[in-house]
Amino acid sequence: MAALSTELNRQIGLLIHRSGQVESVIVGDYDRIVIPVLSHVRTAGGRLRGLRLVHTSFGSGLIDEDIMDMACLRLDLVSVLTMEDGLPEFLHTAHLAPVPVAGRDWILLDSVHPARQTLSCRDLIEALEDEFVRVRPVREVDQGQDRAILVSVTTGSRAGADDSMAELRELARAAGVVVLDQVIQRRRKIHPRFILGRGKLMEIMLLSLRLGANLLIFDQELSPSQIRSVTDHTDLRVIDRTQLILDIFASRARSREGKLQIEMAQLKYMLPRLSTRDDALSRLTGGIGARGPGETRLEIDRRRINDRIARLARELKKVGQERFHRRSRRRKRDVPVISLVGYTNAGKSTLLNTLTRSDIQAEDMLFATLDPTSRRLRFPQDMEVIITDTVGFIRNLPAELLKAFESTLEELFEANLLVHVIDVANPAWREQAEVVEQLLRRLDLDRIPLLRVYNKMDLLDPQTRAQVERMEGVAISALDRSTLREFFVQAQAMLQRELGG
Ligand SMILES: Nc1nc2c(ncn2[C@@H]2O[C@H](COP(=O)(O)OP(=O)(O)OP(=O)(O)O)[C@@H](O)[C@H]2O)c(=O)[nH]1
Ligand SMILES: [Mg+2]
């Protein structure tokens, strides 16, 4: 290798299997070498790739790029052969460390002349892998559950990124993903092709190796080329916030209509992201666990997806018509309708339960409600209304999802009064309320009277409580029926005004 390198004036590298068999020979430039995409070489169950890299160098030893390649590709080890006058000088070897040593995730071995190398590569790698397993055993309970690192790449403020990240964490929890850590990178400008800098990517790879992560969840919507720029260099699955939300919806939808809508949204999201490389496709469509349009559809091509979308559209239209008939029957009876709207987890379902003494699902979980529910409600002053609960809103609501749920949201057009439930115990409530009201404006629903309800007052300190009480709207605690008196009064007054009575 030294002789050839010197003759060609280029680096030469070998990727070698544990068995000693050479996987590929790489000819680089004078000062760098590029490892081919290895997606077809799977990690054999272990943590390391089962391949090591040995390459020549005209420099003085290992450089950052070597460590980076080793970390991103989980190479067994990397050795750099320095040369003098066309002859081998030293072999400089590094391998990944199961636990950081002096703050570093890799270990540099003493340099030796290749002829004096006494270390058995195979023994070293096997001992290393045992150590990785000992440090973080792959527990049975982990199996089937995704282990993720959350990543946010933003040009915005730190506080904004933190807020959004806290929400992403909640979304991950709702999807049943174990969150191991989070990384926020602020950049002046986001590169359209590479979402992360190389250095940051390496940091994340080392982290994922140490924590045993198999999934990266980005807080930003990623373009297909951005996804590929990460998946080409790593063997982690990559999804973005939108896909996470779609996955949650897919696992929660109960009604036939809900299921149809969500499948439609998933397919529409997937379509432009299909690539010719089916490997990238498998990572894209995998989603969380194996839910959604997953593995079984791997081989489906665009045309078949389009067919499916067309069929879903027809079915949805039919279901929509049925619902229209139901709705017009209700309209004929002329019962006024109150619709609860609000950010996800604000307490809409809880309020409906307390108001109507029912028992629909309400829990501390984003998107607990997906399918709209209606109940009858008798006001104290003998007025009967129908009250409906709807799916919660969220910032950066995926456009595909909004479109898919258009028909569900259409129910809102029937409302005579919208009740906007706001969780004032959430530090980001002002922003959340703005997201909701913006969306209402976008859906042209701002012509319907709106009553703001400040919920979870019980969780506030007296000072903030006093502040909230001075604002326009009513302050309640949806868990406590006795706090709802003012709500009844205002809601009824607004309804009567609306109905001209
Ligand atoms: N302390 C307190 N907790 C509340 C109050 N209202 C609701 N919660 C809790 O907030 C959580 C979310 O309530 P839900 O009623 O499921 O919220 P939602 O708006 O229907 O949420 P999604 O359906 O997920 O959009 C639950 O754990 C409720 O118990 C309240 O007034 N005080
Ligand atoms: Mg709910």
Q: What is the pLDDT of residues 310-352, one digit of tens each?
A: 999 899 888 888 877 777 776 666 789 999 999 999 999 999 9
List of E strands, 300-392: 337-342, 373-379, 383-389
How many A from CA of 344 to the centre of ligand 2? 7
The CATH H-level (homologous superfamily) assignment of domain 141-296 is GTPase HflX, N-terminal domain (3.40.50.11060)
Main-chain dihedrals φ then ψ at residue 24, nearest 5 degrees: -150, 155
Residue 357 carries which side chain, given as an amino acid letter?
Answer: R
Residue 40 is predicted with a pLDDT of 59
Ligand nearest to the CA of 363: 1
Please report the atom of ligand 1 found closest to the CA of residue 346: 19
The best mutation among 345, 352, 360, 371 to test binding of ligand 1, ranked by most ligand atoms within 8 Å of the C-beta, falls on 345
CB atoms within 10 A of CB 76: 25
Question: What does the pLDDT average to over 235-257?
Answer: 86
Distance 360 CA to ligand 2 centre (A): 8
Q: Residue 298 above 70 pLDDT?
A: no
Q: Give the Cα separation of 233 and 229 in Å (integer).
A: 7
pLDDT band at 136 (very low <50, low <70, confident <90, very high): low
Does this complex have an ipTM over 0.95? yes
Cα of 233 from ligand 2 centre, angstroms: 40
pLDDT at position 139 over 70: no
Q: How far apart are CA 373 and CA 390, in angstroms?
A: 7
| In 170-295, beta strands by DSSP E | 178-186, 215-218, 237-240
Grade residue 140 by pLDDT with cuts at 50, 70 and 90: very low
Q: Where do the structural domains in the chain lie, given as residue ranges? A: 2-135, 141-296, 335-498
* Topology alike, domains 141-296 and 335-498: yes
- Going by alpha carbons, the residue nearest to atom 16 of ligand 1 is 362
Q: Which ligand 1 atom sits closest to the C-alpha of 369?
A: 23
Ligand 1: which residue has its CA nearest to atom 21?
345
Given pLDDT bands bounded at 50, 70 and 90, which one contains residue 2?
A: very high
Length of the chain: 501
- Contact residues of ligand 1, CB 6 A cut-off: 342, 344-350, 362-364, 366-369, 392, 455-456, 458-459, 477-479
Among the atoms of ligand 1, which is closest to the Cα of residue 477? Answer: 31
Coil, helix or strand at residue 89: strand
Of the candidates 453, 449, 454, the residue with the CA atom closest to the CA atom of residue 495: 449
pTM for this one? 0.80
Query: Is pLDDT above 80 for 280?
Result: no
From ligand 1's centre to the CA of 270, what distance in Å? 32
Superfamily of domain 335-498: P-loop containing nucleotide triphosphate hydrolases (3.40.50.300)
Cα angle 86, 87, 93; round to 5: 115
Q: Which atom of ligand 1 is nearest to the CA of 459?
A: 1
Side-by-side strand order, sheet with 474-475: 373-379, 383-389, 337-342, 417-423, 450-455, 474-475
Mean pLDDT of the chain: 85
Integer CA distances (angstroms), 383 to 356, 389, 492, 498, in order: 14, 19, 8, 14
